[in-house]
């Protein structure tokens, strides 16, 4: 569902779909919002490059729009949704997806030019474009499972609530059944709307809630919910009161110790007593805030429906059976949701704050200037490595990554796949692999290290990469089987001095653990993983 994402994210998702590029919505959202320049056209361009989608951005005279290949992203004069996804351009018309990116709109060029700045981004996908099939399938599978679980739990909960209500209804014959069901649905709807209001308090930038709250003219939930009139006290908002009110009444309806007749009567009187609040809320939004909150209006409507249902179905009674039990049940029913919210509130606000801090941290972390400062503070590569190890990638690249590893090191195997991914994505990268093994048959790492060095000495990078993959990606590392698969004719004897040179270099550079990485002449800071070099390798 696109509505849950930020407008910038929705635009890119729509654009990728038109291009036929497979990237999950989750990946698009994460990649864009964690980018150091979020939100911007540069952020979109870098993200497309990460997904192997060649792209370019620029500005042209609006009259030259027919020269742009469709689809393309157009920067428009809209602070909420700054991108339009243009799908078609004719001699007189422009067809595009505007804000929301669900409704396709066709208008004259003159009208489109009024909102278009002339800035564009074009892309031309190829066979490599998109998320890796394995990752794409994994994320999609997780999404389907999560949706299935959420849907199943919601349906089971709804069924359970209806079942409990049905049990209570079967105990009486004098009450209008439709009136009871309507009251139940009103309370259920009230809880849903109240939860959305509480969610808005926790995360007022949520795109889904923004969509709900800006669907009509003069609607501005933020203006209303952040005003003084939105609070009963400084520590208690009307949204919280609404959640406690609707939840407490629903618990009373389903579990009250008194008879259903008595419970419905009490609920009816509470509905009547709540009627002044809609009057106050409507007056406040109309006269004071001069803005309307869609969710607040839903609450007022539900309160009025509940009161009308009570009156029209004759559910008001003066006499209450078992008043003491009813009082205890009522107090418990309202205290329980209040307690749940009181315990949940700091956790939810804390999680939201942590999420924001994490994204802010990533934007600082992935800033190139910050990375360069941290990198240059690390140990400098003072001893040359030109004649050491195995070289992969572009020998003329300006970026050099050195991996110091042990053939039997588990983390080294994991890093190998990450390095393969970097080499696949970036042409401006050279990788050098240096082994820590001694030139000693008592060191089990010496055998595969010699073998891999000997294979690399033949100068066939394809065979070298295949052998490295077979060794490092194998679940069980068996040198005998590996040697049989890649036979050699005397090259092994020539590798002893090379191992001695690498071991001496590791000792001089004080390399203790493996894997150890050096990037562009400095030790890679501990705060950065190999896969995160992605953010600093784009040309």
Give me the mean pLDDT over the 299-304 stretch: 96
Give me the mean pLDDT over the 305-317 stretch: 87
The pLDDT confidence band at residue 1, using thresholds 50, 70 and 90, is low
Contact assessment for residue 514 and residue 404, using Cβ atoms and an 8 Å cutoff: yes
Residue 217 pLDDT exceeds 60? no
Structure confidence at residue 463 (pLDDT): 93
Structure confidence at residue 171 (pLDDT): 74
The chain-wide mean pLDDT, for the chain, equals 89
The 3-class SS string of 72-124 reads EEEEECCCCCCEEEEEEECCCEEEEECCCCCCCEEEEHHHHHHHEEEEEEEEC
The pLDDT confidence band at residue 223, using thresholds 50, 70 and 90, is confident
What is each CA distance from 87 to 10, 70, 93, in whole angstroms? 15, 6, 11
The predicted-structure confidence for 154-178, as pLDDT tens digits, reads as follows 899 999 998 988 888 877 767 788 8
The pLDDT confidence band at residue 484, using thresholds 50, 70 and 90, is very high
Residue 408 pLDDT exceeds 80? yes
The pLDDT confidence band at residue 297, using thresholds 50, 70 and 90, is very high
Contact assessment for residue 48 and residue 55, using Cβ atoms and an 8 Å cutoff: yes
Contact assessment for residue 295 and residue 214, using Cβ atoms and an 8 Å cutoff: no
d(CA 97, CA 214): 18
Give me the mean pLDDT over the 13-23 stretch: 94
Per-residue DSSP letter, 473: T
Three-state SS at 389: coil
Give me the mean pLDDT over the 493-516 stretch: 92
What is each CA distance from 304 to 174, 299, 307, 336, 359, in whole angstroms? 24, 9, 5, 25, 42
d(CA 297, CA 283): 11
Residue at token pair 């490595």: 385
Structure confidence at residue 189 (pLDDT): 96
Instruction: Specify the pairing of strand 429-435 against strand 399-405.
Output: parallel
Instruction: Give per-residue burial for 62-82: e unless 16+ CB within 10 Å, then b.
Output: eeebeebebbbbbbbeeeebb
Residue 218 pLDDT exceeds 70? no
243: number of Cβ within 10 Å:
22
Contact assessment for residue 176 and residue 312, using Cβ atoms and an 8 Å cutoff: no
Residue 399 pLDDT exceeds 90? yes
Structure confidence at residue 361 (pLDDT): 86
* Ordered structural domains, the chain, with CATH: 2-123 (3.90.70.10), 171-358 (1.20.1440.130), 373-536 (3.40.30.10)
202 token code pair: 């926790």
Give me the mean pLDDT over the 480-493 stretch: 88
Predicted model pTM: 0.73
Enumerate the β-bridge partners of residue 72. 86
The predicted-structure confidence for 47-62, as pLDDT tens digits, reads as follows 998 888 989 999 999 9
Structure confidence at residue 133 (pLDDT): 67
The pLDDT confidence band at residue 239, using thresholds 50, 70 and 90, is very high
Structure confidence at residue 35 (pLDDT): 84
Residue 73 pLDDT exceeds 80? yes
d(CA 34, CA 425): 19
The predicted-structure confidence for 326-342, as pLDDT tens digits, reads as follows 788 889 999 999 999 99
The pLDDT confidence band at residue 127, using thresholds 50, 70 and 90, is confident
Enumerate the β-bridge partners of residue 97. 85
């Amino acid at each position: 569902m696109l509505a849950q994402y930020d407008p910038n994210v929705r635009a890119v998702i729509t654009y990728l779909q038109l291009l036929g590029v497979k990237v999950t919505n989750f990946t698009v959202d994460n990649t864009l919002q964690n980018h150091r320049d979020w939100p911007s056209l540069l952020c979109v361009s870098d993200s497309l490059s990460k997904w192997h989608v060649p792209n370019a951005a620029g500005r042209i005279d609006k009259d030259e729009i027919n020269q742009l290949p469709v689809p393309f992203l157009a920067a428009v004069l809209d602070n909420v949704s700054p991108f339009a996804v243009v799908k078609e351009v004719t001699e007189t018309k422009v067809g595009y997806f505007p804000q929301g990116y669900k409704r396709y709109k066709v208008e004259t060029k003159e009208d489109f030019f009024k909102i278009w700045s002339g800035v564009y981004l074009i892309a031309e996908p190829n066979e490599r474009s998109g998320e890796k099939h394995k990752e794409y399938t994994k994320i999609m599978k997780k999404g389907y499972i999560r949706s299935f679980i959420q849907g199943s739990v919601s349906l089971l909960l709804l069924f359970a609530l209806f079942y409990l209500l049905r049990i209570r209804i079967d105990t009486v014959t004098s009450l209008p059944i439709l009136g009871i069901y309507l009251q139940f649905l009103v309370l259920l709807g009230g809880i849903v709307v109240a939860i959305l209001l509480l969610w808005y308090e926790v995360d007022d930038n949520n795109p889904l809630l923004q969509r709900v709250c800006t669907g009509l003219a003069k609607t501005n939930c933020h203006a209303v919910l952040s005003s003084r009139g939105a609070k009963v006290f400084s520590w208690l908002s009307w949204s919280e009161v609404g959640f406690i009110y609707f939840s407490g009444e629903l618990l009373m309806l389903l579990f009250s110790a008194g008879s259903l007749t008595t419970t419905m009567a009490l609920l009816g009187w509470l509905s009547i007593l709540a009627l002044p609040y809609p009057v106050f809320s409507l007056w406040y939004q109309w006269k004071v805030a001069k803005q309307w909150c869609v969710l607040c209006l839903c609450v007022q409507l539900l309160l009025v429906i509940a009161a009308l249902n009570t009156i029209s179905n004759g559910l008001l009674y003066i006499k209450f059976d078992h008043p003491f039990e009813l009082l205890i049940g009522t107090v418990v029913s309202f205290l329980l949701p209040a307690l749940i919210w009181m315990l949940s509130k700091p956790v939810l606000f804390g999680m939201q704050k942590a999420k924001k801090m994490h994204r802010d941290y990533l934007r600082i972390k992935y800033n190139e200037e910050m990375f360069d400062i941290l990198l240059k503070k690390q140990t400098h590569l003072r001893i040359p490595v030109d004649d050491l190890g195995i070289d992969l990638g572009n020998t003329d690249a300006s970026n050099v990554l050195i991996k110091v590893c042990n053939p039997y090191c588990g983390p080294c195997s994991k890093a190998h796949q990450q390095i393969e991914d970097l080499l696949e994505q970036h042409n401006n990268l050279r990788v050098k692999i240096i082994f820590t093994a001694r030139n000693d048959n008592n060191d089990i790492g010496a055998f595969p290290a010699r073998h891999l060095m000997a294979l690399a000495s033949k100068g066939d990078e394809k065979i070298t990469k295949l052998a490295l993959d077979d060794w490092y990606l194998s679940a069980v590392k068996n040198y005998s089987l590996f040697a049989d698969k890649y036979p050699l004719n005397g090259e092994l004897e020539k590798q002893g001095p090379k191992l001695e040179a690498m071991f001496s270099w590791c000792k001089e550079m004080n390399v203790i653990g493996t894997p150890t990485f050096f990037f562009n002449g400095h030790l890679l800071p501990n705060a950065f993983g190999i896969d995160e070099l992605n953010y600093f390798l784009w040309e």
